[in-house]
A and B are shown apart, each in its own frame.
Chain A
Amino acid sequence: MRYFRCIFFVTFFLSFAHTLSSQVPGYLGKRTVIGYGFNFHPALAGFSMGYSDNPFNVKHEIFIEHATRKATMVGANVQFFKYVYNNTEEVDPTSTGSYYYYDQAGRPTGSYEIRANNFMFYNKLFHRTYLAPWGRYFMIGAVYTRYTAEYRSSEMFFQGYNSSGRLATFSNFGAYRQTYQTGDIIMGLGRSRVFGDKIIFDCGYNFQLISVVKMAINFLALGEPIPMSTYIQTTSSRRISATNRFNFYMKLGFLF
């Protein structure tokens, strides 16, 4: 994690360092944008398989961007998203320590909630004929993600026969609130337009490299029972990767 934090801050400082020696026209001299962004991608497969009640993964963000060179911007944003996971993965019964039927795995009941924040620093590199913050660009940056999974043992549990042959309820998935963090590299392509010389509309798509790789690995492990103690960690990490891997976005900002 320390490694990701390092990349994160180096990117941030390098982005600003080159402003010192450059000429920056901006858009009519305006170089900074603050605004709100809406990220989404269709999650139809997950929706049909029952992972989620929502056919779209949605993230909201607030951002600030600043033109540091003629065709370069640095930006930072905070993204928020919430996800209710419907426990579609199975628990490895042996991990309970007292399970009777060793060959029978099962899904926990109910669902649990994931709340996540992405903190992102990025550079927008504009096509040479455009001027930051207006025009077509390629973006690249570092993402630091912090997410919390929270479950209620009264709602999320796993039932089975224990070693004494009695029906028992297993609900110990670890702490009720579990917090994790991860890092990623983001890349994307977009295009921004300016309306009335003040309002900026930015749209495009991006993907996070590590999440894409993780998704591929997770796909191979799909269906394998997960030990109870790591059930939330594993499934929440998968959902975070699935949500972050690829997104379309639309942003509305104020230019000044």
Chain B
Amino acid sequence: MKKKLILFLLAGLGNIVAQQNLKVNYTPLKSKGELPEVFTQNIRNVIKEDINAMEKNTSSDKKLKSAFLTASNYEIERIVKSGNALVNDEVSKYINEVADVILRDNAQLRKDLKIFALKSSVVNAHSYDKGFIFVNIGLIAQLESEAQLAYVLCHEITHYTKRHQINGYVEFEKIDRMNESGSNNEERYVEKCQYSKEQESEADMEGFRLFERSPYNLKQAEKVFDVLQYAHLPFELVEFKKSFLETPGFSFPQSYFLKEVSAIKDNSNEDDTKMTHPNTKKRKQAIAELVASRDNSGRVKAVVSQERFEYVRDLARMELCRLYLKDRDYPNALYAAYILHDKYPDNEYLSEVIAKCLYSITLYNKGEISYGSDSYLESGFPSYERIESYPQQLYHLISKMPENEWTAVSLNYIYRAHKKFEGNKSIATLTDSMFSLMTRTRWGVSEFSRKLKAKNEQALVDSSKIKNDAEKKESEGSSKTDMIASMQKEKNSRNDDTIYFKSIYVDLFPDAEFASRFPMFGKEEEQTSENFSVYRSSSSKKETPVRQPKQERVRQTITVEKVLLLEPFFFVVNEASREGIKYLSSDEKQEQYSELINDCAKKLQLELITIDPDAISSKEVDKMNDYSVMNDWFEEKFDADKEKTTILNTNEMENLIAKYGTQYVLKTGIISVTTVSGRKRTYIYAFLFDVKSNELIYRKYEYFKTLDRRDLVHAKAYQIIFDIKHPIKKMKS
């Protein structure tokens, strides 16, 4: 008994020691410890075993089920090895502890489940028939209690126990085949949706039966549907106060702010004919009936710990800011960081996120950030008219505030953050870049006041009073859904502002560093620093068309001695076949391609470090984390449609450059396609990036009217490494 008590206390102490101090800073979530088997297993063997087992136990639809097992195993592997699945981190550990509570009477089922937190901003969780459950960070950030998380897990566990995925796959294929000539695509889709809704309803009901066996408060299951209903809104609804960006000498004109924000639309009873899930009203109603018929007394919101839940949720919310930044969704990142900043005003990470967002929005306003077709923001930030509730205020401010003023406001915030966190390299670099951007506004010192006028001093007192009142009111805050219910009653009590923005730096000019770095009117001095290139965008160069001496205009060459090879890629597709992707062949060829690239590098004496999640051992969790960082960097890069658009995920990248001793990262892959008409095509690509300067320094993209024959692949692999090994002429930007 004593031993157990000591162990329990030690475990508790361990958790406290391991926790991050969010009041001070936040370190992005990382996998820890030993990687589970799914990271290291040979997927081809796993598929073979699964198919053999299925053939022994099943008599019908063997072919369909084999195809499903192949596809789903690959999908699981793709998610697990995407770098986004977290292992043994604080969030995953906590989710697993909640699962332990739910399944404390069913050890076998608990053993079959492998639960991971997934770094995704989407409010969702999903499970696979092999017992893998992925709970997105976006969902954890939105949940209101541990009990709600428990119900979500129960729902997903039911999908697993009822084998919904494989049954759905077989059913969908049957619908497709039976109606191939008869009904049109839409009818087929509706039929599939109907089947899917039945499965979801079953998961809701059966999940509830599992949930009620746990000590959790049953009412929380009902509340989960409120969370899902408002998942499109930020995790909390807090008024975006203009005082947040205001300083003693600066207040926004009232016209930049809406008098009233738009109401939240109730679409809980929307038409769900063409949806895979029943609408939330129906789902909530069904669960509410069950809750009403049960005794809910003595049940609790948290079994593991309410503090732990709140801590984990805050971690998820912090991580969510990073995920938004990665997706270049700056308004959402800014709003999320703004909410958290209220709780953790001295958190360095949050100040950094806000600084990055303000800087990026400045660039966006100047047209220097635009989105590629891969981004969900392809057409830019959504119009404020489409945004509901408090976040609308922020979108309105972004759209109404003139470009130069936004630059001035951003510099104001970022410089203050720089002074507060002087050791933060990232904020320091942003400060350099902001001074440079300020130069381009052509606003010099003479444009700004150095002294505060008496009239403004009074307004300043008023403005700080308003700020304090608002803060007081907010600290009494409640959960997001409660907030939605009461928000309509709130009145806008903002006072009109009279302070002219040109006094914005009045308290900063006495700062010697600020005064010396602030652009002098008429002098087009380009501010530079060692790290400046990290954040400098391409168009900033275009504005200074200084003709270089002839010798310097000769294209420079780069000599690369060491390269990081990031997950070589091979994809075999047969468009004519029902399955499309040839998973087994793809996997086999990918392995061979990785080996080939390494052999070529050895032959050419190019130092090559491969970071490939397919070739990672269970003890190489650091490599998996490094892969995740690099993947995030590339995702952020490819989301933009301009080659040199700012990459904000650089802090960790700099560490990796130091760790591996190179700034060159190679991404290469082959896609082999047999088209519907039987034509063969092979696409080969290779990109070498200098991740330090955010430059593409080598690019190869070719296609051949043939299949991926051995000589083609070998010749090209060798050529890629050969080209990199030899001095590369710097590409024209």
Contact = CB atoms under 8 A, between A and B. Distances in A.
B719 interface: yes
Given A23-B722, A129-B704, A194 B711 contact: yes
A239 B603 CA distance: 50
Interface in B687-733: 702, 704, 709-711, 714-716, 718-719, 722-723, 726
Contacts of A25: 718-719, 722-723
Contacts of B287: none
A168 to B, nearest CB: 66
A164 B702 CA distance: 81
A193 B709 contact: yes
B498 to A, nearest CB: 67
B600 A28 contact: yes
Contacts of A129: 702, 704
A125 interface: no
Contacts of B722: 23, 25, 29
Interface string B141-156: 0000000000000000
Interface residues of A, number: 16
Contact of A194 (B702, B715, B716): B715
A28 B718 contact: yes
B723 to A, nearest CB: 8
Nearest to B712: A134
A26 B718 CA distance: 9
A28 B715 contact: yes
Nearest to A134: B715
A129 B681 CA distance: 14
Nearest to B727: A23
Given A23-B722, A131-B719, A193-B709, A28 B714 contact: yes
A219 interface: no
A53 interface: no
Contacts of A29: 603-604, 718, 722
Given A129-B702, A195-B711, A28 B726 contact: no
A129 B682 CA distance: 12
B682 to A, nearest CB: 11
Interface in B633-661: none
Contacts of A193: 709, 711
Contacts, number: 42
B718 A27 contact: yes
A29 B599 CA distance: 12
Given A28-B603, A129-B702, A129-B704, A23 B711 contact: no
A134 B711 CA distance: 8
Interface string B124-157: 0000000000000000000000000000000000
A23 B722 CA distance: 9
Given A129-B702, A129-B704, A131-B719, A27 B603 contact: no
Contact of A130 (B603, B709, B715): B715
Nearest to A135: B715
Interface in A192-229: 193-195, 197
A129 B702 CA distance: 7
Contacts of A195: 710-711
Contacts of A70: 719
Contacts of B714: 27-28, 194, 197
A241 B215 CA distance: 98
Nearest to A192: B711
B572 to A, nearest CB: 20
Nearest to B717: A28
A23 B716 CA distance: 15
Interface in A10-27: 23, 25-27
A23 B704 contact: no
Contacts of B702: 129
Contacts of B710: 194-195, 197
A197 B717 CA distance: 13
A25 B725 CA distance: 11
A26 B714 CA distance: 11
Nearest to A24: B722
Contacts of A28: 600, 603, 714-715, 718
Interface in A26-78: 26-29, 70
A245 B77 CA distance: 60
Interface in A60-119: 70
A29 B601 CA distance: 11
Contact of A23 (B603, B709, B726): B726
A195 B710 CA distance: 8
Contacts of B726: 23
Nearest to A131: B715
Contacts of A194: 710-711, 714-715
Nearest to A197: B714
A130 B714 CA distance: 12
A155 B715 CA distance: 57
Given A131-B719, A194-B714, 18 more contacts: A23-B722, A25-B718, A25-B719, A25-B722, A26-B718, A27-B715, A27-B718, A28-B600, A28-B603, A28-B714, A28-B715, A29-B718, A129-B702, A130-B715, A131-B716, A193-B709, A195-B710, A195-B711
13 contacts: A23-B726, A27-B715, A28-B603, A70-B719, A129-B702, A131-B716, A131-B718, A134-B711, A135-B715, A193-B709, A194-B714, A194-B715, A197-B711
3 closest residue pairs by CB, A with B: A25-B722, A194-B711, A129-B702
